[in-house]
Amino acid sequence: MDRDQTSRAALAALQAVEHDDSDLVSSGRVRNLVVDDDGTVRFSFTLHPDDPGTLVRAARKAVESLDGVTTVKVNVQLPQSAPSPGARGSGGGLKPGSIPAPTPKPGLLPQVAHVVAVSSGKGGVGKSMVATNLAVGLAEQGLRVGLLDADVYGPNIPLMFGESRRPPVSGEKGKERIAPLERYGVKLMSLGFLLEKEQPAIMRGPLIAGILKQFLEQVHWGELDVLVVDMPPGTGDAQLSLVQTIDLDGAVMVTLPQEVSLGDVRRGIKMFERVNTPILGIVENMRSEVFGHGGGEALAQEMKVPFLGGIPLDRAVREAGDAGRPTVTSAPDSPAGEALTGVAKAVREALAGG
> For 74-91, how does the pLDDT look when each residue is reduced to its tens digit (9 = 90+)?
877 655 443 333 333 333
Neighbouring-strand partners of residue 117: 229, 251
Question: Model pTM?
Answer: 0.71
Q: Alpha-carbon distance 219 to 203, whole Å?
A: 21
Length in residues, the chain: 354
pLDDT tens sequence across 188-235: 998 888 765 554 444 444 556 667 777 888 899 999 999 999 988 776
Contact 34, 7 (CB under 8 A): yes
DSSP letters, 221-243, are --SEEEEEEEPPSSSSHHHHHHH
What are the strands, taking DSSP E only, across the chain?
18-19, 22-23, 30-35, 40-46, 71-77, 112-120, 145-149, 169-170, 177-178, 181-183, 186-190, 224-230, 250-255, 279-287, 307-312
- The residue ranking higher by pLDDT, 171 or 124, is 124
Burial label for 50, CB within 10 Å (0-12, 13-18, 19+), is exposed
Cα-to-chain-centroid distance, residue 143: 9
Q: Alpha-carbon distance 37 to 220, whole Å?
A: 25
Fold held by 112-351: Rossmann fold (3.40.50)
Q: Within the chain, which residue ranges are assigned CATH 3.40.50.300?
A: 112-351
Contact 12, 41 (CB under 8 A): no
pLDDT tens sequence across 264-318: 899 889 888 888 889 999 999 998 877 777 889 999 999 999 999 999 998 888 8
pLDDT tens sequence across 313-337: 988 888 888 889 999 999 988 999 9
What phi, psi does 57 have (nearest 5°)?
-60, -40
Q: Within the chain, which residue ranges are assigned CATH 3.30.300.130?
A: 3-77
Contact 127, 283 (CB under 8 A): no
CB atoms within 10 A of CB 12: 12
* Nearest alpha carbon to residue 163 among 151, 155, 152: 155
What are the strands, taking DSSP E only, across 59-195?
71-77, 112-120, 145-149, 169-170, 177-178, 181-183, 186-190
What architecture does CATH give domain 3-77?
2-Layer Sandwich (3.30)
What phi, psi does 263 have (nearest 5°)?
-60, -40
% of the chain at pLDDT higher than 70: 81
* Nearest alpha carbon to residue 250 among 133, 349, 115: 115
* pLDDT value of residue 238: 66
* Nearest alpha carbon to residue 77 among 113, 41, 117, 35: 113
* Nearest alpha carbon to residue 254 among 348, 329, 339, 320: 339
Return mean pLDDT, the chain: 81
